[in-house]
Amino acid sequence: MKNNVSKSSITRRQFLAKAAMAGGAIALPCFIPASALGRNGAVPPSERILMGGIGIRGRGTGDLKWMMAESDVQFVAICDIRKDRREAVKQMIDDKYGTKDCTMHRDIREFLAERTDIDAVLIATGDRWHALASVLAMRAGKDVYSEKPSCMTIAEGQAVVETARRYGRVYQTGTQRLSEANHVFAIEMALSGRLGKVHTAYAHIAPWDAAIMKNDWRPAEPEPPKDEVDWDAWLGPCPWRPYNASYVAGGWRGYYDFHTSCIGEWGAHTFAQAQAGIGMLDTSPVKYEYVDNPTADGMVTTFANGVKMVLSRGDKYWHGSCGERFDGPEGWVAAADGYSKPDASSPALLAEFKKVVGEYMARTQRPMNHARNYLDCVKTRRLTVANPEVMYRSMSTVHAANICMWLKRDLKFDPDKAEFINDPEANRLRSRAMRAPWTF
């Protein structure tokens, strides 16, 4: 006999009754965990952001814990060239969720191809991999949170911007001080005119290493099995160099092949902070003045509107690390890590701290939580506070300052064309050759 009842008209209750009669001894599960329904404050699976980690160690471990603390995030995979890191991160993730579900991957290409269910990735590799991993992930349909410095060259920064735009991906670079109240207050004080027309900003550069990096490499050591450490993948787009265990343990800093110098180490943070306060996040300085020292301490960079940004290595303008300062005719304000509140030329400038930060949050709809800002934007598709353009422009400043130091002469730069003016030698340094197959 033909059944005239359409499938769509059968209720869930009728379906269960029919199944019980037809199955006899078959028992269908009748208990659904409250967490799966989003009850008791839990986020239902349909609302969770599935994430994977790429190269999680050191700073990346902190990022991982930060994001896993958010109730609408679930990490489900780790990709790393080191077996010990894959296993350690898997253990952290499985322990957090009380499962054994986190998958491990060694090859980023296979990882991105296999885990089509993942919405977003946390990238915390060494500097050399940040841009390439970001581009590959965005091409695979993933949103990206990338640690800094987020590109090794001006050309890499352009590639990240173009890929995010082409594929419609959300991207955040790990300049987390753009989402911290003390720094936001200093930036807003400069932008709002409370200091008068700001004429000079100061940006902190790292107090270790130098702007002139080493061009040699460490002595060769026996290469471990590929499954233990995939050395070819560790090098990625960099020139081939013999294996040395100290590289893998973090000893790659200070080498031209792998690093962005003392300028990039902290400038990747502080240039964005300083440029934000003078309204220059959509451009870079047009002039870089060479200073005859190994570190670029005291280099003056000048924007098209005449405002200067000075690179400073010590504690002349702040105490603590990764600081920025803004000077205007009505006073100055500065912030850095470890401050209970910002520094200012007058206590009166600090009187409206809560008001200034509150107005910023209301106007931008951004929380004082960098990871949360990223996750919110994954859901809303809004621009993050440290979006690709912010990363590219501040990192272009880093790279131009480095090139100025390497060539030991003043440089003029056209931010719109992303090229140095009448300087072919400087222009050749805007990019680096990428070793196949690790290319864009």
pLDDT digits (tens, 9 = 90+) for 169-192: 999 999 999 999 999 999 999 999
Average pLDDT value for residue range 358-380: 98
Tell me how many domains the chain contains.
2
Share of the chain above pLDDT 90, in %: 89
C-beta separation of 68 from 96 below 8 A: yes
In this model, does residue 15 exceed pLDDT 70? no
Q: Are residues 335 and 192 in the same domain?
A: yes
Please report the pLDDT score of residue 45 as a whole number.
Answer: 83
Q: Are residues 89 and 196 in the same domain?
A: no
The answer to whether residue 433 sits within a structural domain is no
* Beta bridge pairs of residue 310: 202, 300
Range of the domain at 67: 35-176
pTM of the predicted structure, to 2 decimals:
0.90
Give the Cα separation of 27 and 240 in Å (integer): 60
Average pLDDT taken over every residue of the chain: 92
Residues 133, 208 within the same domain: no
Give, as one character, the DSSP assignment of residue 436.
Answer: T
* Gap between the Cα atoms of 250 and 378, Å rounded: 31
pLDDT of amino acid 409: 98
Residue 128 and residue 183 in one domain? no
Identify whether residues 182 and 316 lie together within a single domain. yes
Query: What is the residue-wise DSSP string for 369-425?
Result: -HHHHHHHHHHH-PPPTT-HHHHHHHHHHHHHHHHHHHHTS-EEEETTTTEETT-HH
Comparing CA positions, the residue from 121, 115, 111 lying closest to residue 67 is 121
Letter for the amino acid at 294? P
Measure CA of the first residue to CA of the last residue in the chain; give whole Å. Answer: 62
Q: Is residue 237 part of a domain?
A: no
Residue 378: inside a domain, yes or no?
Answer: no
Which CATH number does the domain housing residue 401 bear? 3.30.360
157: nearest Cα among 284, 45, 263? 284
Tens-place pLDDT, residues 26-81:
343 444 444 444 555 678 888 999 999 999 999 999 999 999 999 999 999 999 99
Q: If you ran DSSP here, which 8-state letter would residue 322 be given?
A: S
* pLDDT recorded at residue 41: 61
Residues 27, 221: Cα–Cα separation, whole Å: 61
Shared domain check, 128 and 277: no
